Amino acid sequence: MMEKRILIIGSGLGGLLSGFLLSKEGFKVTILEKHRKFGGCLQTFNRDRYTFDTGIHYIGSMAPGQTIHNYWKYFGLSDRLDLVKMDENGFDRISYFGTEYPLAQGFDNFKERLLAYFPDEASALNSYTQNLHEIVNSHPLYNLELPAGSYSDHYKSILAGSFLSDLSSGIRHSASGIRLSDILAGNNFLYAGNPATTSIAELSLINHSFISSAWRLAGGSQHIVDILVDGITRNGGRVLARKKVVGIHKKGESFHVSTKDGDLFEADQIVSDIHPVSTLELLDGIPVQKAYNNRIRSLPNSISVFTVYLGLKPESFPFLNYNLYKYKTDYIWSALPSRGDKWPNSFLFMTPPEKEQGAFANTAVAMATMNFEEVREWEKSESGTREKSYFVFKAKKAKLLLDAVYEQFPDLKEAIVTIEISTPLTWRDYTGTVNGSMYGIVKDAANPQKSTILPKTKISGLYFTGQSINLHGALGVTIGAVMTCGEILGLANVINSIKRTL
Ligand SMILES: Cc1cc2nc3c(=O)[nH]c(=O)nc-3n(C[C@H](O)[C@H](O)[C@H](O)COP(=O)(O)OP(=O)(O)OC[C@H]3O[C@@H](n4cnc5c(N)ncnc54)[C@H](O)[C@@H]3O)c2cc1C
């Protein structure tokens, strides 16, 4: 029998994991990537002597036996990545009005550390961690188990914001006046939290994974890309750069995919790792049900982000083995725009580790969520040809963000040698997500059915993968890739293949 040909559009984490899995299970895989570099959000870039990660700064559950470790073993990643365990007693620190509240690793440790600040909230903390366990246990794929029958996740329709406020008594910490519920939502940048849409399922899967254990990748997330591309090539697949897909056509039973440079690729099936709306836009002469098309196009996307990447003088700024989420007000949800002209309402600051990490940091990164509207006036411009006003905007926003960071770390200013900036336009151009959205289509707890994108599309032979299906991030995209490949190979077969590597 002839090998089935699968073409994958986009080499983000979802495309690479799907490509690895399908090529390992006997398909003839070709991945087409529009950039010269593979990886999408996993890409790193270099400025002067510095290397920066762009979209994977830390990952959870990478201790042996934990969720991502179990999955990534199959992909040859778990034992080969250079991982640095983050501070056990506070991998994330939530800073409000001068007090830093630790989110610790290990569930008992997590409760104990917060109890020191909220001594009357023992029952709320117990209930929180119990709920996290219960919710992930009701999500079979989190535990590498097969969903039974027509599985539906009712936690997707419960709002995280209401859950958190119902949980705690509302007692405020005397030093900062902040409530436990605000601290538990303090790293909501991780899921672009929105009180009107974020579900308890999203909050729980992500937080359970990080509280289980939290890690950084020494030397950058590019290593994940290199291992996966090498694996796909060894399995007989191809990963091709500078191949921007511009059209998907059908000829008989086969797909014909055209690229900007004039190439044509033939395939039996297609997996698209790019945004679902961008995928629909590529269809040329292939009929799509109107209701399906309209539904997907109508779904809102998560907010975008503004980042400054800092190269530092040697031995001038300490290495921090944690992330700092700092709030200037008690307005905690990162998907909502900052009030008035107060941007940034909050920011995330970190110092990524080097391969041989000592006491001092080599680089630092600060980020704040940003609405695409801020850069709308330059949306038609392309990287390399943008107007001067755009650079003025970038510099102004970078100053605002850095001034906020300097309030926390006054010594940082003198330590900086290089500054690089990315805006929502950068994200749009680098990953192809609509409006530079960080995490793709919003999974809406108020409307879970409408906002759920299934891997199997209404076009026979075309599948979605990546962060807009299932969940974003290393955890969500990994499970999403397994779901997508499960549609092609049978989910039980995929789960069994992965389990055999444990
Ligand atoms: C600022 C930021 C920080 C983050 N931090 C973390 C973190 O610390 N931990 C974590 O777990 N997750 C994090 N995430 C989320 C995580 O990075 C993403 O959810 C995940 O990497 C997305 O993978 P993906 O496969 O969906 O696609 P993407 O990474 O979006 O890749 C899509 C690929 O498709 C390519 N492409 C687009 N259009 C075309 C076309 N027409 N033809 C060919 N190729 C095309 C793009 O160039 C890109 O390479 C972060 C995200 C952001 C934005």
DSSP per residue, 81-148: S-EEEPPTT-SEEEEETTEEEEE-SSHHHHHHHHHTT-TT-HHHHHHHHHHHHHHHHT-GGGGT-PPP
Does 404 lie in the same domain as 342? yes
Residue 1 has pLDDT above 60, yes or no: no
Q: How many domains does the chain have?
A: 3
Residue 289 · residue 458 · CB < 8 Å: yes
Pocket test for ligand 1, best of 56, 61, 443 (most atoms within 8 A of CB): 56
282 Cα nearest atom in ligand 1: 41
With respect to residue 271, please indicate whether it lies within any of the assigned structural domains. yes
Q: Which of 54, 70, 74 is nearest to 62 (CA)?
A: 70
With respect to residue 406, please indicate whether it lies within any of the assigned structural domains. yes
Does 458 lie in the same domain as 376? no
Check pocket membership of 467 for ligand 1, CB cut-off 6 A.
yes
Does 288 lie in the same domain as 307? no
Q: So what's the pLDDT on residue 168?
A: 79
Determine what percent of the chain is predicted with pLDDT higher than 90: 87
Nearest residue (CA) to ligand 1, atom 32: 12
Does 208 lie in the same domain as 150? yes
Q: How far is the CA of 341 from the centre of ligand 1 (A)?
A: 29
Does 250 lie in the same domain as 206? no
How does pLDDT run across 184-228, given as a tens digit for each residue?
999 999 999 999 999 999 999 999 999 999 999 998 899 999 999
Last residue of a domain, one of 217, 238, 256: 217
With respect to residue 76, please indicate whether it lies within any of the assigned structural domains. no
Residue 339 has pLDDT above 70, yes or no: no
With respect to residue 292, please indicate whether it lies within any of the assigned structural domains. yes
In whole angstroms, give the CA distance from residue 459 to residue 99. Answer: 53
Check pocket membership of 69 for ligand 1, CB cut-off 6 A.
no
Taking the whole predicted model, whether its pTM rises above 0.85 is answered as yes
With respect to residue 160, please indicate whether it lies within any of the assigned structural domains. yes
pLDDT bin (cut points 50, 70, 90) of residue 170 is confident
Residue 95 · residue 118 · CB < 8 Å: no
Does 224 lie in the same domain as 209? no
∠ Cα 45 365 421 (to 5°):
60
Does 457 lie in the same domain as 432? no
Q: How many CA atoms does the CB half-sphere of 370 hold within 13 Å?
A: 30
Q: How far is the CA of 501 from the centre of ligand 1 (A)?
A: 27
Determine what percent of the chain is predicted with pLDDT higher than 70: 98
Residue 385 has pLDDT above 80, yes or no: yes
Does 355 lie in the same domain as 413? yes
Does 391 lie in the same domain as 309? yes
Pocket test for ligand 1, best of 33, 41, 54, 77 (most atoms within 8 A of CB): 41
Does 308 lie in the same domain as 349? yes
Q: How far is the CA of 8 from the centre of ligand 1 (A)?
A: 15
Check pocket membership of 56 for ligand 1, CB cut-off 6 A.
yes
Residue 300 · residue 263 · CB < 8 Å: no
Instruction: Tell me which H or E stretch contains 50.
Output: strand 50-53
| Strand pairing category for 363-370 and 304-312 | antiparallel
In single-letter form, the type of residue at position 3 comes to E
Tell me which of 37-51, 58-72, 139-153, 327-341 is least confident: 327-341
Check pocket membership of 13 for ligand 1, CB cut-off 6 A.
yes
For residue 39, the domain's CATH number is: 3.50.50.60
Q: Which residues contact 215 (CB under 8 A, 6 or more apart)?
A: 58, 59, 60, 62, 83, 84, 85, 86
With respect to residue 78, please indicate whether it lies within any of the assigned structural domains. no
In whole angstroms, give the CA distance from residue 254 to residue 241. Answer: 23
With respect to residue 278, please indicate whether it lies within any of the assigned structural domains. yes
Q: Which of 57, 477, 494, 234 is nearest to 226 (CA)?
A: 234
With respect to residue 350, please indicate whether it lies within any of the assigned structural domains. yes
pLDDT bin (cut points 50, 70, 90) of residue 395 is very high
In whole angstroms, give the CA distance from residue 198 to residue 244. Answer: 33
How does pLDDT run across 101-149, given as a tens digit for each residue?
999 999 999 999 999 999 999 999 999 999 999 999 999 999 999 988 6
Last residue of a domain, one of 166, 187, 217: 217
Q: How far is the CA of 389 from the centre of ligand 1 (A)?
A: 28
How does pLDDT run across 407-445, given as a tens digit for each residue?
999 999 999 999 999 999 999 998 888 899 999 999 999
The predicted model gives 245-262 an average pLDDT of: 96
Q: How far is the CA of 415 from the centre of ligand 1 (A)?
A: 30
Check pocket membership of 53 for ligand 1, CB cut-off 6 A.
no
Check pocket membership of 228 for ligand 1, CB cut-off 6 A.
no
32 Cα nearest atom in ligand 1: 43
Q: So what's the pLDDT on residue 76?
A: 97
Does 492 lie in the same domain as 453? yes
How does pLDDT run across 466-486, given as a tens digit for each residue?
999 989 999 999 999 999 999
Residue 307 · residue 421 · CB < 8 Å: yes
Within its chain, how far is the Cα of 95 from the centroid? 22
Q: How far is the CA of 359 from the centre of ligand 1 (A)?
A: 31
Quote the domain boundaries for residue 88: 83-217
Q: How far is the CA of 336 from the centre of ligand 1 (A)?
A: 22
How does pLDDT run across 259-310, given as a tens digit for each residue?
999 999 999 999 999 999 999 999 999 999 999 999 999 999 999 999 999 9
Does 313 lie in the same domain as 427? yes
SS (H, E, C) 133-183: HHHHHCCHHHHCCCCCCCCCCHHHHCEHHHHHHHHCCCCECCCCCCEHHHH
Last residue of a domain, one of 438, 455, 470: 438
